């Protein structure tokens, strides 16, 4: 804060002993920037005032006006304002006597009471005819302002006022309202050219009725205005079991008269009434009455139908006359010059922080000033903010119903993702495993082969008997040839038996030696792995 504000602080705190309010220069409570201090309103439920003179008055001519400063409601805000006043250069301005009636040219800044959140832009316009000063209020901001009062962050407020009478309001360098001094102020700067004649009055015979009852209509003869709207239902029957002799309520048999009951003062004591226990299982007690229904004959009071009024003259309005107070000021931007800035506030909340006031004619200068000051506070606050997960948890602690939204928001997409994207087994994804063939089949094959061998041997024996006889005869004729033939035949038989044994033993060896076959398919590639006697071969 500048040395000028320090001097103002000493001066105004000297008067605070008499006026019972206090200002201070100190750092922010949270998100402190090292070495940075601001002006802090310290007292609660007090009227505060502090001001500082500008180096030179601002005169409204051909250059824009830019007003900018920072506010932080460190403890929130119940009811109070944080607006500034640009004090008019009247020639008699005395800052030691600054109060709520000190003339000002512009009032700008946040204000709140109850649930009414405002961003003021008010300027005082001088009537060129009677020289009176009138307050002109800008329209309300186009955004919800509540968060700027409740988040306990430092916010930047900027007013841009142009010589073409246009204006724009910014919060944190974002536009929240814009308009024109000639069109968007209440009340308007320029009064209407014509006004209603205050001396004009409506004639006695002026007929403003657009519709009148039909004067030729006649009430029908069968119209009964005395028929009741409700009648007893003639078709109703008393429910079976209705207890006519029992009352709905009976005195409480367990009630006792209070000891301090004075019959002279309180009257005769009576036990309080309770529902009759006998009526709990019955459809009803007491005198039965037929229920009421709408009367089909009811028509109500007769009224003639409305018709167009032939004498209708329209809604009367007073005639227009020229406004004697009319004037036209096409340059409301040329306001009264100002030469001081002041804070004149009443607040139910303390510790309102102000900093980095700037008044200039160039928006670029104000933006650079903001980047070097408010921008640092924004960076520090952003760095100290909790993560998105922590913010969600904090919000759920204040509003437990948010847990339902969190569960639906997270659980529903995950469930759908699992449902639709979980991989399914295709028809081609199989795992094959070769198992040992049943031994019964092998044994049957071996038995069949043995039977065939036995049959072959029997047939050979049968064929061998006559052959033996012939051999003996031949032996007698020539023994050497017979022995040679017998040896050849024996060798052939032995070879046949060995081949049969090899054929019968080969399948058995393959089944005993093989451990398993695994076949897996993946995509377009197929791989067959055979595990055999500890050896691995890939096909």
**What residues have CB less than 8 Å from 159, skipping those under 6 apart?**
65, 66, 67, 68, 106, 108, 121, 167, 168, 169, 170
What integer pLDDT is reported at residue 320 of this predicted model?
95
Band of the pLDDT at 184, cuts 50, 70, 90?
Answer: very high
What are the tokens at 101? 């009636």
Question: Counting runs of H as helices and runs of E as strands, what totals does the chain give?
Answer: 9, 27
Identify the CA nearest to 130 among candidates 330, 322, 324.
Answer: 324
- Residue 11 pLDDT greater than 50, yes or no: no
Which of residues 429 and 23 earns the better pLDDT score?
23
What integer pLDDT is reported at residue 400 of this predicted model?
81
In this predicted model, what pLDDT tens digit does every residue of 356-370 receive, in sequence order? Answer: 999 999 999 999 999
What are the tokens at 212? 């009148």
Rounded distance between C-alpha atoms, residue 109 and residue 360, angstroms: 17
What values do phi and psi take at 484, rounded to 5?
-65, -40
What are the tokens at 175? 């536009």
What integer pLDDT is reported at residue 462 of this predicted model?
52
What integer pLDDT is reported at residue 475 of this predicted model?
44
What integer pLDDT is reported at residue 523 of this predicted model?
43
How is 477-508 classified by DSSP, letter by letter?
H-HHHHHHHHHHHHHHHHHHHHHHHHHHHHHH
What are the tokens at 441? 């089949």
Which of residues 318 and 16 earns the better pLDDT score?
318
What is the largest distance, in Å, between two alpha-carbon atoms of the chain?
177
Rounded distance between C-alpha atoms, residue 217 and residue 225, angstroms: 16
What integer pLDDT is reported at residue 37 of this predicted model?
93
Cα distances (angstroms) measured from residue 248 to each of 252, 271, 286, 427: 13, 15, 6, 77
Torsion of CA 199, 202, 204, 207, to 10 degrees: 170
In this predicted model, what pLDDT tens digit does every residue of 292-328 receive, in sequence order? Answer: 999 998 989 999 999 999 999 999 999 999 999 999 9
Which of residues 105 and 16 earns the better pLDDT score?
105
In this predicted model, what pLDDT tens digit does every residue of 201-236 receive, in sequence order? Answer: 999 999 999 999 999 999 998 899 889 999 999 999
In this predicted model, what pLDDT tens digit does every residue of 465-491 receive, in sequence order? Answer: 554 455 445 444 444 444 444 455 555
What are the tokens at 250? 């009976």
Which of residues 533 and 211 earns the better pLDDT score?
211
- Give yes or no for a contact between 122 and 88, defined as CB atoms under 8 angstroms apart: no
How is 267-326 classified by DSSP, letter by letter?
-S--PPEEE-GGGSSSS-BSS--PPEEE-TT---S--PPEEE-TT------PPEEE-TT-
Rounded distance between C-alpha atoms, residue 423 and residue 427, angstroms: 13
What integer pLDDT is reported at residue 513 of this predicted model?
42
**Span 157-169, average pLDDT:** 97
Rounded distance between C-alpha atoms, residue 150 and residue 140, angstroms: 19
**Span 106-133, average pLDDT:** 93
Band of the pLDDT at 117, cuts 50, 70, 90?
Answer: very high
Q: What is the pTM of this model?
A: 0.58
What values do phi and psi take at 128, rounded to 5?
-70, -15
**What residues have CB less than 8 Å from 411, skipping those under 6 apart?**
none
Rounded distance between C-alpha atoms, residue 139 and residue 44, angstroms: 30
Rounded distance between C-alpha atoms, residue 47 and residue 99, angstroms: 9
- Residue 165 pLDDT greater than 80, yes or no: yes
- Residue 121 pLDDT greater than 60, yes or no: yes
By percentage, how much of the chain surpasses pLDDT 70?
73
In this predicted model, what pLDDT tens digit does every residue of 32-85 receive, in sequence order? Answer: 888 899 999 998 888 889 999 999 999 999 999 999 999 999 988 888 899 999
**What residues have CB less than 8 Å from 375, skipping those under 6 apart?**
none
What integer pLDDT is reported at residue 428 of this predicted model?
53
What are the tokens at 230? 């409700």
**Span 127-135, average pLDDT:** 93
**Span 413-417, average pLDDT:** 79
- Give yes or no for a contact between 6 and 25, defined as CB atoms under 8 angstroms apart: yes
What integer pLDDT is reported at residue 423 of this predicted model?
67
**Alpha carbon 407 to chain centroid distance?**
14
Average pLDDT, the chain: 80
Q: Which residues pair with 51 in a beta bridge?
A: 342
Angle at 329 between CA 324 and CA 330, to 5 degrees: 140
Per-position b or e across 60-90, b if 16+ CB within 10 A of its CB: beeebbbbbbbbbbbeebeebbbbbbbbbbe
- Residue 531 pLDDT greater than 60, yes or no: no
**Span 6-24, average pLDDT:** 55
Angle at 506 between CA 504 and CA 507, to 5 degrees: 85
What integer pLDDT is reported at residue 534 of this predicted model?
42
Rounded distance between C-alpha atoms, residue 120 and residue 83, angstroms: 7
Angle at 357 between CA 76 and CA 90, to 5 degrees: 110
Cα distances (angstroms) measured from residue 304 to each of 219, 241, 332, 452: 8, 51, 59, 126
- Interhelix angle for 479-513 vs 439-477, to 10°? 170
Rounded distance between C-alpha atoms, residue 38 and residue 354, angstroms: 6
Band of the pLDDT at 265, cuts 50, 70, 90?
Answer: confident
């Amino acid at each position: 804060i500048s040395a000028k504000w320090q001097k103002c602080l000493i001066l105004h705190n000297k008067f605070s002993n008499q006026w019972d309010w206090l200002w201070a220069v100190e750092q922010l409570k949270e998100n402190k920037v090292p070495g940075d201090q601001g002006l802090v309103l310290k007292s609660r439920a007090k009227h505060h005032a502090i001001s500082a003179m500008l180096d030179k008055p601002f005169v409204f001519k051909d250059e824009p006006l830019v007003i900018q400063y920072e506010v932080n409601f460190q403890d929130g805000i119940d009811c109070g304002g944080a607006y500034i006043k640009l004090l008019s250069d009247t020639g008699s301005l005395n800052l030691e006597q600054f109060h709520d009636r000190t003339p000002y040219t512009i009032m700008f800044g946040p204000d709140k009471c109850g649930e009414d959140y405002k961003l003021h832009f008010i300027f005082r316009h001088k009537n060129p005819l009677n020289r009176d000063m009138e307050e002109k209020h800008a329209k309300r901001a186009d955004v919800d302002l509540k968060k700027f009062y409740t988040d306990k962050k430092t916010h930047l407020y900027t007013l841009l006022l142009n010589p073409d009478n246009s204006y724009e309001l910014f919060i944190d360098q974002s536009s929240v309202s814009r308009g024109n001094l000639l069109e968007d102020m209440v009340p308007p700067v320029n009064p209407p050219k014509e006004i209603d004649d205050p001396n004009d009055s409506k004639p006695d015979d002026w007929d403003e009725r657009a519709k009148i009852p039909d004067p030729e209509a006649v009430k029908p003869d069968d119209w009964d205005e005395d028929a009741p709207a409700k009648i007893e239902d003639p078709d109703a029957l008393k429910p079976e079991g209705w207890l006519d002799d029992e009352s709905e309520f009976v005195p409480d048999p367990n009630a006792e008269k209070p000891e301090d009951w004075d019959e002279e003062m309180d009257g005769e004591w009576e036990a309080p009434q309770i529902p009759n226990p006998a009526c709990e299982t019955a459809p009803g007690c007491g005198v039965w009455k037929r229920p009421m229904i709408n009367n089909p004959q009811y028509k109500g009071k007769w009224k003639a139908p409305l018709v167009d009024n032939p004498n209708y003259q329209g809604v009367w309005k007073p005639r227009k006359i020229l406004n004697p107070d009319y004037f036209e000021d096409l340059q409301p931007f040329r306001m009264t010059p100002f030469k001081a800035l002041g804070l004149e506030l009443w607040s139910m909340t303390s510790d309102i922080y102000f900093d980095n006031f700037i008044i200039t004619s160039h928006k670029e200068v104000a933006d650079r000033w903001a980047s070097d000051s408010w921008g640092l506070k924004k960076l520090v606050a952003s760095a100290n903010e909790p993560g998105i997960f922590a913010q969600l948890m904090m919000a759920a602690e204040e509003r437990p119903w948010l847990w339902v939204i969190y569960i639906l928001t997270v659980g529903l997409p995950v469930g759908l993702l699992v449902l639709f994207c979980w991989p399914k087994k295709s028809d081609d994804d199989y795992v094959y495993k070769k198992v040992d063939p049943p031994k019964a089949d092998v044994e049957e094959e071996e038995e069949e082969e043995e039977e065939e061998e036995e049959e072959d041997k029997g047939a050979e024996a049968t064929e061998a008997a006559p052959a033996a006889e012939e051999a003996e005869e031949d032996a007698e004729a020539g023994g050497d040839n017979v022995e040679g033939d017998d040896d050849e035949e024996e060798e052939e038989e032995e070879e046949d038996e060995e081949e049969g044994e090899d054929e019968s033993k080969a399948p058995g060896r393959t089944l005993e030696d093989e451990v398993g076959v695994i076949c897996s398919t993946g995509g377009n590639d197929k791989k067959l792995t055979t595990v055999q006697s500890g050896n691995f071969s890939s096909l």
